[in-house]
Structure 1
């Protein structure tokens, strides 16, 4: 009977430990997945020749040229292949179109086509009815990300940005720099602030707010600025290479922590069992 009770206590302890470690461990795993996707993207870009990259840019510019400045983007785009013929082939390298870097809040996230639930669990989603994020006058790209997921941080720290903050889009062989000039909270169906403005080059980052309630949308808009030299503010592209080593550097520590916790639990159970056998002293 006592043995069964000890086993139950150990199982409860391990379940509790798993619940405590889950957010941290899953976040580490997601960080590694993000870094892996980014580095695979960079390798593919490096393997392309200049003519191929320029062709992809021209295709994206043609797509942007067909968008109307009169109609704001729609957040409830289905994200299916039928909604825009050829959309998923534009700027696509194994489904990644580029990556977003926000040094101020430690964000390096791959950008995917569409805003389906699956996409937003993997990284940042591009709002399909908005401009593709390649820059240019008369464009307004909208990038969406989740907050509050237990498995990944994603846009959790987006509210920490302020006017004057900078973020960067790494698209094909270019780095596009943007400076935040507008931060607003809007109703989900009031997307007028996401419209294309003639002559302007905007990118808006969007997430749900308030935290865990998600009744509104936080939008952080940036306008295009000159890209600073590497190392001045934007992290060099090679810096992203560090994070794939998380798999080798972190996993031994995770396994060691779990093993240590199990050993500690076993020691506690054995000590309690030994104490009970001795019984109370006279």
Structure 2
């Protein structure tokens, strides 16, 4: 009993010193807990960011395509017809020697020919829109194949025919694959002979059926040349995935347009690819595990703190009874 009275009468045991020690211990506990929380959060963000960025960029690119269709729908028909006629004349006079590998920087040099090219189909920021129903692809088509352009959508290869169709034309459209933050042409290898894709240019919808799929070296351009009398479009991306030593060519030949895909010409609605690709799964699983571990840690701390508080309350009551 005497010992108990001494502890109670000792101001250092129950006064400011003890409170300071308690606050110090509380701060140390919070610091010790904050570090693993931050590490788990940073890990989850790092793992999930490429997946989230991919879906976000897919959405923005799809919206770009939708906006193109909406603007064309409200444009002056006479201006659209004049621009289309000018593009047709451009194709007739096109010099085949201008055709180069899409990823050859020299092909986008700002010379007189390239400036003339940029003046074609320039009523809007995009020259057109491509839809590939089998792949849920809906992307804008832009001038050139610069990195800037290919980050926004599909690039039209300078030196190839403008994508307005007609006899003796061959438009080449290029898109990235294996980017860490966008899908674009990732699924192009999944297209098969017989699949169709659609180009929307200045209010017109052009349908093409895949008739040839090939893999070539970057300097092999014969398959991109115009075939007399034919109306063709070739879709190009790098292959193999993430190695990019070759080019995958998916060629389509013009066919009559029908609404077999359930869409109307020039529709302003758009689709985007929400599918989870194989490279996304490890990241999503890793981020999910990090979040679950974090939740379990926080739950454990809450339970532990409540038990500790209950023990302190019980001891306090016991001392008061004494």
Q: Secondary structure at the match of 2:115?
A: coil
Contact 2:193–2:213 at 8 Å: present in 1 too?
Answer: yes
**1:235 and 2:228 matched:** no
| Alignment correspondent of 1:250 | none
**1:138 and 2:164 matched:** no
Q: Matched residues in 2 for 1:151 and 1:166: separation?
A: 26
Q: Relative to structure 2, which stretch is displaced further, 120-129 or 35-44?
A: 35-44
Q: Secondary structure at the match of 1:90?
A: coil
Q: Matched residues in 1 for 2:255 and 2:269: separation?
A: 26
**1:17 and 2:44 matched:** yes
Of 226, 229, 233 in structure 2, the residue corresponding to residue 196 of structure 1 is: 226
Contact 1:204–1:221 at 8 Å: present in 2 too?
Answer: yes
Contact 2:141–2:154 at 8 Å: present in 1 too?
Answer: yes
| Alignment correspondent of 1:187 | 217
| Alignment correspondent of 1:269 | 298
Q: Give the number of the structure whose residues are more often helix, by fraction.
A: 2
* Structure number with larger C-alpha Rg: 2
| Alignment correspondent of 2:64 | 37
Contact 1:68–1:196 at 8 Å: present in 2 too?
Answer: no
Q: Matched residues in 1 for 2:233 and 2:176: separation?
A: 17
Could you list the per-position Cα deviations for residues 178-213 of structure 1 after superposition, in whole angstroms to 9, with x for gaps in the alignment? 011110000011111100111111100000000000
Q: Matched residues in 2 for 1:210 and 1:196: separation?
A: 26
Q: Secondary structure at the match of 2:66?
A: helix
Q: Matched residues in 2 for 1:45 and 1:206: separation?
A: 26
Alignment CA distance shift 1:80-1:33 (3 Å): farther
Of 241, 247, 269 in structure 2, the residue corresponding to residue 217 of structure 1 is: 247
Q: Matched residues in 1 for 2:236 and 2:127: separation?
A: 18
Q: Matched residues in 1 for 2:263 and 2:53: separation?
A: 25
| 1:1-282 map, 5 Å | 1-69=28-96, 71=97, 73-75=99-101, 76=104, 77-82=106-111, 83-228=113-258, 230=259, 232-233=260-261, 235-237=263-265, 241=269, 265=294, 268-269=297-298, 271-272=300-301, 275=304, 278=308
Could you list the per-position Cα deviations for residues 112-138 of structure 1 after superposition, in whole angstroms to 9, with x for gaps in the alignment? 100001111111000011110000111
Alignment CA distance shift 1:266-1:181 (3 Å): closer
Unaligned runs of 5+ in 1: 247-257
Unaligned runs of 5+ in 2: 1-27, 275-286, 309-322
Q: What is the aligned-residue RMSD (CA, Å)? A: 2.8
Q: Secondary structure at the match of 1:110?
A: strand
Q: CA deviation at 1:271?
A: 2.0
Question: Aligned residues, how many?
Answer: 263
Q: CA deviation at 1:175?
A: 0.5
